[in-house]
Structure 1
Amino acid sequence: MSTPYHRVIHENEQRFRIATDAAGIGVWELDMRNGEFYWNPRMYDLYGVAPVDGPLGYSEWERRLLPEDRCRALQRIWTGVEQGHPWEVTFRIRRGDGTIRDIRSVGQQLYDERGEPSRLFGINEDITERCQADRARVQSELEHCRALSAIGRELRNPLSALRRCHERLDSAALDAEQRHCLALARIASDTLLAQIDAILDQAWADSSRAEVQAEPFDLRRCLSEQIALLRELAERKGLILSLEWGRDLPARVCGDETRLLQVVHNLTRNAIQYTDQGWVCVRVRRLDATRIEVAVADTGPGIRPEDQDLIFEAFRRERSAGNGRGGSGFGLYICRQVVWLLGGEIRVESEPGAGATFTFSAEYPEVAEGEGSGCCETDTVPPEARPAHRRSAGLDVLVVANDPDQGRLLYELLLRIHCAPRLVDNGADALAEWQRQAPSLMLLELELGDLDGRTVVQRVREAERGVDAPRTPIAVMTAYPLAEVQRDCLQAGADQVLKQRVGLAALQQLIGRVRGETPQTLRCPV
């Protein structure tokens, strides 16, 4: 006999059936007492089974799961069953016709009137098109990143050589004007290298993959040098470019100097670009013990309120009255991504005709003068890789550089710091030289043409283990800004991974660590 309660249940079941049929969702139910399955019509479509054949048994359903997905999916489902919790899992199945489909499965254990588990109930949704689109997007992004990385390496190589030429000229007899020009050229090349690194970082879609280097540095010095680099550009437009310091600003902070300069450079250059008369002012102040704030204000045309959210998107140039100003529209997008990496936020305040102020905060805790251990990564050159007989003058350094200009410059820089370098240009010769005489330090590029640097490192470590030889310190230079590449090199057996723009100061610190002269808490600048 029908009761109001039964009618409500029946109506709800009808509504549920209509909703699932309309959404194309398969519904299944398993009676745990007799092992019988119930499927709605959509489940038969999903698995390519004829309704007259009835639902698949549990064992047959399990065999339909692809082997690489099976264990993970079953573990998730049965963990939910054992704990009495709902589950959600995605897996791939092979249908009767051999085609493969991506399935999203959601389910829950149901109980009888005595509180005993009696049934499993769930839904299956075909998400193949969504997963195929996601896989295609990921593959496209990966190919895009690889192309950008290759371009970045080609750009970095001549810039790195230029940077090392600056190092050589620094010891030449120059007058004051020439030395000033050299300093500006060095800052400009460093900034351009940082911009290339930034673009390569952003190519890898999410910023969590980008790397932040935490090292102590002089905050006032680095910002003063950056503003000095841009002052000439401002003066050519008749603008006043100033730098103001807040009270209690720490002299030394710990953080990523390059990325801070990257944001300051982009914001200040933008302000100069969009300002035709008046001034641009960079203000730096301390927010608290761990954070600083930088504001870049200008007297330019300002930004319309409706455009202020858009300007931080890639390829946007929305400055009022800013047409024809050039630029890629990528700078502010990079600024936002980098500021997020630095643990801060960026915002803009502006009114049309009244200029604009871009303000960002970042995590840069204060460090005491001479302090370096509180925030920096520890050196990865182990003590056993620095035996006493390697600490004498004339350190034997094997340089492996595919680029002849970079190899020659590294060779000359090592001579200047009283090392005895050997130079080869490929991985096979590097291994042969190591076999002939193990060096005190091997300094090699990641990209070598015949063998990559990781392979060379692996073969050296295997040979050392085979004859129980002392460990050779190995530093790999890479143009990649990616933490994944650096981790691969360290896992292969490298002791240090350096960005390819290794200058004189970095070499001195590296050589000092190998000789045991430099405190091990200091990290080689990269």
Structure 2
Amino acid sequence: MNSSLINLLSICHIEYLIIDENFKILEKSLGLNHFADIPDEVKQGEDIRIVFPELEGLEDVFNAIRQGEQDYFELKGIMRSQDIVSPLYIDIRITNNIQEDHFSNSLIILVEDATERMVLEQSLFQGANEANLLLRNLKASKQYIDQIVTSIADALLVTTLSGNIKKVNIAAQVLLEYDEVELVGQSITKVIREVNNSPLITGDIESINILHNPYINPLVKEVETICYTKSGKTIPIAFSSSIVKTEIEHFQGYVYILRDMTERKQAELAKQEFLAMISHEVRTPISSVIGMASLLLDSELTDEQKNFIEIIYTSGDSLLKIINDFLDFSKIQSGNLELEEEPFALRNCINEALYLLAPEAKEKGLKLTFLDTPKLPTTIVGDVTRLRQVLINLLSNAIKFTETGSIEVSVVIYKNSDINHSYIANTDEIQFSVKDTGIGIPCDRVERLFKAFSQVNSSITRQYGGTGLGLAICKQLCELMGGRIWVESELGAGSTFYFTIAASVISEELEVRSQELFLSSPPKSAPMSFSPSPDSHELRILLTEDNLVNQKIALKQLKSLGYSADVAGNGKEALQLLEKIPYDLILMDCQMPVLDGLETTKEIHRWQESSFASGRRPVVIAMTANAMKEDKQMCLDAGMDDYLSKPVMKENLAATLEHWASVIFKVKEIDAVEQTVYTTNVGSVDLLIDWERLHQLSENNPEFELELLQLFVEDIQPRLEIIKISIATDNFEQLAREIHQIKGASANVGATIMYLATEKLEQLAYNQKCRGTTNIISELEEFVKHIQEFLISTSSS
């Protein structure tokens, strides 16, 4: 081979050898040994098939090339080394040997290092295989996720960060009555408007704070609302949502799970209806039993008869407590128990609980003590009824399980800044303790105390009675009030029950004292006798009740309180009597034949004021065995002014009648001096405020009275603005709701004239009439202005 060709092959890193027609090596390049199967055999005269065994069997190919039947032949990617670290691959090309411008019988074999290409090809092939495998896995994963999403019984929607729907499952399409194509691209608010109130809809994914693991998506607590279907139906749902965070913006967004609550709501409604039925059907005969027993106790009886009646009365009262426990527990479990937020005197609440149970403690010879402290606040904001309920339950248990010794109540207040754990903002932690010297509780049984239907052991029920719900209710009430409950006890040495609430403190002014509650004398706040107003005989009362036993009990109670009343057997009879007699107050049963109490009250509101001889409608007070929260709200929504739950205790009836009698008589006094309800030139705040009522409410605390009036003004002003908007938009439902709030607040603080003005406005709202509302609102604003001026002058003096 000429030198030029050899140089060219060398530059291209190609080795060569030349063979004759007998396959013998005639010539070879210097680097060829590196590519030979047997390097030592690469020498002239050796058979090429020994050096490159891959050429064995290619004799026909060689002859075809020599004869010009074939230009060349290639063998590619021949492996020479299987070393993973240093592999070796070669390409072999066979062609005629060109010499001096003509072909000879010799052949030239070109050998080229193909390692780099083969390694690259193998890498690409492996990568392609891995990519195919990954693609198959991704497809399988997608199918897997799609099948999971499809099989989810709840509706699922996926949206972008901006809230546009990207995907919905079949359950969502069925629930919302839309095809997927109709929802994709639409805003989530098309079907769930409440979603705007979700904390995840922020538009800023980085604002979501993940405390520990950034890959864990925050889940918003389930929210109950309604969704809107294609046909316009509204369906009650509970939805939860979670944010999806990835490195690729296209795959970021939100996931919403919608659960159809129709069946659950129907079940809850059925449960509430059942409880309401139980409440009414059971409480009605119990009311009769307790009422009749109470009346008999006021009559002349032998000692034996009195003992029998007391047993009947006590048994009926115990049965009523059991029913109340079940109703309370059911309301708490269903989330239907709402706490009130009203200012009340803390000491009065504690003393009332102690006084109520004082006779039981005295009967067992137990000493009942309240340890007061200078740090105890005078007035707090909260639900006095539920706090008293917890105290009474704990005190009742203490008395029940203590045979000798004492029961001690104490209270400690912790300022918000003094406690490490988080409570409701702007509140203090108030800790109560009830300590007894009773039988104690084994340490291995303490955890059972606060569980529903559970007592320390089965003998407790047989020996002491009870439902096992009392402490479970206390636990849930304490938690609802922002606190907790626990116990420290030693078997045979007594127990101390602790519980806390979170409450806002209005005033901490208190004279230092520590008093013992003498069992023979009640606290000042507890009425011992009922003294109706000297004008009570002038109060025209109509009792509307279909049950003859309840009629007799109510009439007897009214008579013992110094009142008299006429009787109507149903709502229709009551309306007929109202056309003839201008009653001041109606005691209204709710469930009656012909026309029930709710419809009767609505009918009274629909009547024109001129229908009443007195120039105004009577005060309507519900007296019903329905004790559920929604029953009370139904009564108020129907236009009733107050609510008494059966069995109506004599003291509750007396307090209610005394309050409304003072309101009614105040109106009559104003009428007597020709003070119209709608005068805008009231010059003295004394005509606006029933100071006697306010003094009684505040226990003659002038500072608290001023604070209460200030809160009253601050609450009413924004409500008046809402009322104006409601009138402008003909939103009579909202109008009636806001008026009712102002009306109740006015009655509570003794703002009698304002109460009467709101009563007129409320009647217009029920009749859905706007005419005349503007003047009344102006007058209300004038009333508020006079009270503000009074408060300013008082504070500056």
TM-score range, shorter-chain basis?
0.5 to 0.7
Q: Offset at 1:45?
A: 7.9
Change (3 A) 1:38 1:21: same
Q: Do the aligned partners of residues 358 and 434 (structure 1) sit closer, same or farther apart at CA in structure 2, a change above 3 Å counting?
A: same
Distance 1:43 1:471, change over 3 A: closer
Alpha-carbon distance between aligned partners in 1 of 2:443 and 2:366, rounded to the nearest angstrom: 24
One-letter amino acid of the counterpart of residue 73, structure 1: I
* Matching residue within 334, 345, 353 for 2:473: 334
Q: Secondary structure at the match of 1:201?
A: helix
- Tell me the equivalent position of 1:227: 358
Structure 2 partner of 1:199 = 326
What's the counterpart of residue 367 of structure 2?
242
1:189-220 alpha-carbon deviations (Å, 9 max, x no partner) = 77765554343232223465256587654743
Secondary structure of 1:429's match? Answer: helix
Give the number of the structure whose alpha-carbon radius of gyration is greater. Answer: 2
Paired with 1:186 and 1:256, the residues of 2 have a C-alpha distance of 29
| Residue in structure 2 matching 1:209, options 317, 337, 349 | 337
2:192 and 2:228 in contact (8 A); partners too: no
Residues 61-460 of structure 1: pairs in structure 2 closer than 5 A: 71-73=190-192, 76=195, 84=203, 127=259, 131=261, 134-135=264-265, 137-139=267-269, 141-159=271-289, 161-162=291-292, 165=295, 169=298, 193=320, 196-204=323-331, 205-206=333-334, 209-210=337-338, 217=348, 219-220=350-351, 222-232=353-363, 235=364, 241-248=366-373, 259=386, 262-271=389-398, 279=404, 281-288=406-413, 291=430, 293-300=432-439, 302-305=441-444, 307-319=445-457, 324-325=462-463, 326-340=465-479, 344-352=483-491, 354-361=493-500, 393-415=537-559, 419-460=563-604
In the other structure, the counterpart of 1:513 is: 663
Give yes or no for contact 1:242–1:282 (8 Å, CA) kept in 2: yes
Alignment CA distance shift 1:152-1:336 (3 Å): farther
Matched, 1:473 2:619: yes
1:302, 1:350 within 8 Å by CA — same for their partners in 2?
yes
Determine the C-alpha separation between the residues in 2 that align with 1:44 and 1:192.
Answer: 52
| Mapped contact 1:320–1:352 kept (Cα < 8 A) | no
Question: Residue 408 of structure 1: CA displacement?
Answer: 2.7
Q: Distance in 1 between matches of 2:226 and 2:330?
A: 29
**Conservation of the 8 A alpha-carbon contact between 2:343 and 2:379:** no
Q: Letter of the aligned partner of 2:142 in structure 1?
A: R
TM-score, normalised on structure 2?
A: 0.46
Q: Which moved more, 1:477-486 or 1:307-316?
A: 477-486
Contact 2:290 2:313 in 1 (8 A): no
SS in 2 for 1:317: coil
Deviates more, 1:76-85 or 1:465-474: 76-85
**Amino acid corresponding to residue 294 of structure 1 in structure 2:** S
Taking the aligned partners of 2:579 and 2:602, their CA distance within structure 1 comes to: 14
Post-superposition offset of 1:186? 8.2
Q: Is the CA contact (8 Å cut-off) linking 2:454 and 2:469 kept in structure 1?
A: yes
The residue that corresponds to 1:382 in the other structure is: none
Contact 1:109/1:119 (<8 A) preserved = yes
Query: Which of 625, 639, 647 in structure 2 is aligned with 1:493?
Result: 639
Moved more, 278-287 or 316-325: 316-325
Q: Deviations over 1:435-472 (max 9, x none)?
A: 12221222212222332211111001111258585222
CA distance in 2, matches of 1:28, 1:251: 52
Partner residue in 1 for 2:628: 482
Task: State the shift of 1:91 in Å.
Answer: 7.2
Counterparts of 1:257 and 1:272 in 2: how far apart (Å)? 22
Please give the alpha-carbon distance, in whole angstroms, between the structure 2 residues aligned to 1:449 and 1:425: 8
TM-superposed CA distance for 1:314, in Å, is: 1.0
What CA deviation, in whole Å up to 9, does each residue of 1:386-427 have, x standing for no partner? xxxxx7852221111222233233334444555452112211
Partners of 1:103 and 1:265 lie apart in 2 by 37
Tell me if the contact between 1:301 and 1:321 (Cα under 8 Å) persists in the aligned partners: no
Supply the AA of the counterpart residue of 1:515: F
Q: Specify the SS of the correspondent of 2:608.
A: helix
Q: 1:144 to 1:19 in 2, by over 3 A?
A: farther
Q: Deviations over 1:57-100 (max 9, x none)?
A: 326998xx9xxx985526848999997468999877989xxxx9
Q: In the TM superposition, what is the alpha-carbon distance from 1:339 to its structure 2 partner?
A: 3.7
Give, in angstroms, the shift of residue 429 of structure 1.
Answer: 0.6
How has the CA–CA distance of structure 1 residues 399 and 257 changed in structure 2, closer, same or farther, with 3 Å as cutoff? Answer: same
Amino acid at match of 2:330: A
Q: Which amino acid aligns with 2:469?
A: F
For residues 82 and 214 of structure 1, what CA distance do their matches in structure 2 show?
Answer: 37
How far apart are the structure 2 equivalents of 1:248 and 1:395?
Answer: 44
Looking at structure 2, the residues matched to 184 and 452 of structure 1 have their Cα atoms a distance apart, in angstroms, of 34
Q: After superposition, what is the alpha-carbon deviation per residue over 1:325-368, rounded to whole angstroms, capped at 9, x for unaligned?
A: 45432222123234445554321112455543222345698899
Cα distance in 1 for partners of 2:395, 2:471 equals 11
1:318 Cα deviation after fit: 2.5
For the residues of structure 1 that align with 2:282 and 2:488, how far apart are their CA atoms? 34
The answer to whether the 8 A contact 1:394-1:418 is kept is no
The CA RMSD over aligned residues, in Å, is 5.7
What is the identity percentage for the equivalent residue pairs of Structure 1 and Structure 2?
Answer: 20
Change (3 A) 1:367 1:189: farther
Deviations 1:282-304 (A, max 9, x none): 21123239846231424425233
Structure 2 partner of 1:58? 182
Segments of structure 2 that go 5 or more residues without pairing to the other structure are 1-123, 151-155, 206-218, 415-427, 512-534, 670-689, 698-746, 749-797
**Greater RCO structure (CA 8 Å; 6+ sep):** 1
Q: Is the 8 A contact 1:144 1:203 kept in 2?
A: no
Instruction: Assess if the C-alpha contact under 8 Å between 2:280 and 2:627 holds in 1.
Output: no
Deviation at 1:309, TM superposition (A): 2.7
Say whether residues 1:503 and 2:653 are aligned partners: no
Distance 2:199 2:486 in 1: 45
Amino acid aligned to 1:492: A
Task: Provide Cα deviations, 1:30-81, integer angstroms capped at 9, x if missing partner.
Answer: 9x9xx9x986xx9468648xxxxxx84326998xx9xxx9855268489999
Question: 2: CA distance between counterparts of 1:190 and 1:101?
Answer: 40
User: For the Cα contact (< 8 Å) 2:546–2:592, is it kept in 1?
Assistant: yes
SS of match in other structure, 1:476: strand
Q: Does the residue aligned with 1:512 lie in a helix, a strand or coil?
A: helix
**Residues 454 and 468 in structure 2, CA contact (< 8 A), matched pair in contact too:** yes
| CA shift for structure 1 position 23 | 3.4
